[in-house]
Chains A and B, each alone.
Chain A
């Protein structure tokens, strides 16, 4: 992070916990633990997501070892859940397994698009908040749903840029900006980021942070893309704070005509 950004920016805090990086990295899709560790380090992230699955007796090493080695925090998710009941149970199991009350809440409503099921999502969020969880819901880019999730007590809202793994970038910048403008809790752009400019755009629109996985883990060079994302998030944040110029239809000279030679 540049010195000027560090001086100008406020701390990035979720539920009272402050993070030095506005990039959260998902671990899904990494080809190996070594590659994942390199990407985590290059990204500068302080928080990474994991999923909960049946123990694989043949697995060599655990993703938890990588996370511990990198010295970053763990954010379990409820990936793969299609109902509120399933997601709530998964969150409770994650709390038991990892000793954290933080949960990235995913309740999927459609197998092809993996878009969130808004009804089940809100239901699960309400239950988990009641159960004492710090809930970070993955949601569609619907400003009304984002407000309902915030009203339910979620610690952040995490609208998608585009469907999971598509790399399509911010499909609805207007909605994302509306969510950012209205939310009191941090807005974290989650899913659909394809490359560095997408992450920068999400930050320019007002997001407090970006969560991405596939864009890094399935890039040809994951560590290099992780470094690009780190720079992009910082650049987008700096641009947001700096205040962009208004867009104009016609040119406005940046060089004064006054004093022009009579040639």
Chain B
């Protein structure tokens, strides 16, 4: 199974938590979306399906 995390195809990513861990060690100030839908932190153990697109976002300078 492969999913796309922040635009990059990755293997061995089973849950939203795995996807987050694949790109950052930080937990504070992080939000995740799967196929455009926000996934609350309490649901990060949710299983991903083949081809899911995960966005892992954080604060950056702006505005």
Contacts and interface: CB of A to CB of B under 8 A. Distances in A.
10 contacts: A26-B62, A51-B60, A53-B57, A53-B60, A54-B55, A54-B56, A79-B62, A92-B38, A93-B31, A98-B29
Interface stretch (A9-17, A28-36, A145-153): A28-36
Contacts of B63: 26-28, 49-51, 75, 77, 79, 104, 106, 213
B9 interface: no
Nearest to A76: B59
Closest 4 CB pairs of A and B: A51-B62, A49-B63, A97-B31, A77-B63
Q: How large is the interface on A (under 10, 10 to 19, 20 to 34, 35 or more residues)?
A: 20 to 34
Interface string B7-34: 1000000000000000110101111110
A2 interface: no
A122 interface: no
A57 interface: yes
A50 B58 CA distance: 9
B24 to A, nearest CB: 5
Contacts of B32: 96
A51 B7 contact: no
A94 interface: yes
A256 B7 CA distance: 76
B59 A51 contact: yes
A64 interface: yes
Contact of B61 (A55, A63, A97): A63
A174 interface: no
Given A55-B30, A98-B29, A62 B62 contact: no
Contacts of B23: 55, 57
Nearest to B57: A52
A89 interface: yes
Given A26-B63, A62-B29, A93-B57, A55 B36 contact: no
B28 A28 contact: no
Contacts of A55: 6, 23-24, 26, 30, 56-58
B31 A52 contact: yes
Contact of B58 (A28, A30, A52, A74): A52
Nearest to A91: B38
B46 interface: no
A97 B56 contact: no
